[in-house]
Each structure stands twice: as C-alpha cells, then as structure tokens.
Chains A and B, each alone.
Chain A
Amino acid sequence: MAIKKEKLEEIIKKSFPEASINIVDLAGDDDHFSLEIKSSKFNGLSRIKQHKMVYDALDGKMGGELHALSIKTMSEE
C-alpha cells in the first residue's frame, strides 16, 4: 500500500486550503511521510485535537494506504 506525495498534498489541501503545508517522502517509497502543517484552524486547540483534524482529513487512510506519517501541526497564533 502506498500513496503519492502529490495525492497526499491534494487530500490535505482539500480540508485545509488556507494552510501552509510541507510534505517530505522520507524514504522515497511513497509510504513514509512527514507532514508539517500550519493553519489558523488549529488556533486554540490542543495538539490531540489538531492531529485528529489531520487524521479526519485523511478519511481513514491513516493505517491503511498510509503506513507511516509523522505529523507536526502549528497554529497561526
């Protein structure tokens, strides 16, 4: 199971059109990514809630098509 970086970026952007996003394909295998995302939508929310919003955007792909995604969320405050 794997996913292209461009596809991943497209999915994230759909839920976070305002965010600045940086995705790195860590191993070059379409399977291990890191995602840095900065969005005003995260303002005032706990990290758990911020990460849950990202997981929601991925709509069940985490743990399925996406094996390993390291996430770092940042608010705009």
Chain B
Amino acid sequence: MDNKVKETIEDKINNDDLHLFMKGTPLFPQCGFSSTVVQILTYLEAPFSSTNVLEDEDIREGIKEFSDWPTIPQLYYKGELIGGCDIIKEMFETGELQEELKDIINN
C-alpha cells in the first residue's frame, strides 16, 4: 500500500475516537450496511467522523488492506477496528457496543 494512503488512514483513525469508513455520508448513506451502522451510532448519540470511500478509490482499496477486512463499512474506535455491519449490529443488540463506547456516549 502507498505510504501516503496509509498515513491518511492512520490520521483519520487517530484524530477522532470513533471513525467510520462508509459508502456515502451519514446524511446520505449509499449502501444499506453503511446506513445500518450510521443509524446505530446516531441512536446511541455517539459522536463520530466518517470517510466516504466512494469519493476516494485509494482509501476504498487501501482500508481493506490496512484492516485486513474485505468489506465496507468499517468502524474504528480509538485506533482499533471494532467491526463491520454484522458485528456492530450484534454488539448493539447484546449491549456490548454501549459498554465499549461508554467513554464517548452520555457525555
């Protein structure tokens, strides 16, 4: 992977506690899986930043290699990948996500 792409990704996941790589934007998600994650984070009132991978082909391919994870969306918390749509949904349903994000929600 290009070093510049790697640095861009590292900046994104380190600058904000919660960062979502998604298709589209939180207001206009362009994929059902991305939309689901946005809805969960919005419901939890968890502040997050996002990257629209559809606008940057280098990031779109780079993030898959960076995370060793083949699909979008990808949610990063404090610099670590915590899941794609299935995992986030499951963690939300079991309450684990609320626990994991407790530092940044309800504040």
Residues of B at the A interface (CB closer than 8 Å) are 33, 64, 68-71, 81-87, 90-91
Contact = CB atoms under 8 A, between A and B. Distances in A.
Question: Which range contains the number of A residues in contact with the other chain?
Answer: 10 to 19
Contacts of B83: 47-48, 51
A48 B82 contact: yes
Nearest to A63: B70
The A interface, classified by DSSP as helix, strand, loop or mixed, is: mixed
Contact of B69 (A52, A68, A70, A72): A52
A57 interface: no
A45 to B, nearest CB: 13
B68 A72 contact: no
A72 B90 contact: yes
Interface in A33-77: 47-48, 51-52, 55, 60, 62-63, 68, 70-72
Q: Which 10 A-B pairs have the closest CB atoms?
A: A62-B70, A63-B70, A47-B87, A71-B86, A70-B86, A55-B70, A63-B71, A48-B81, A62-B71, A48-B83
Contact of B68 (A52, A63, A68): A52
A43 B30 CA distance: 35
Contacts of A62: 70-71
Given A52-B69, A55-B69, A70-B85, 8 more contacts: A47-B83, A47-B91, A48-B81, A48-B82, A51-B86, A68-B33, A71-B86, A72-B86
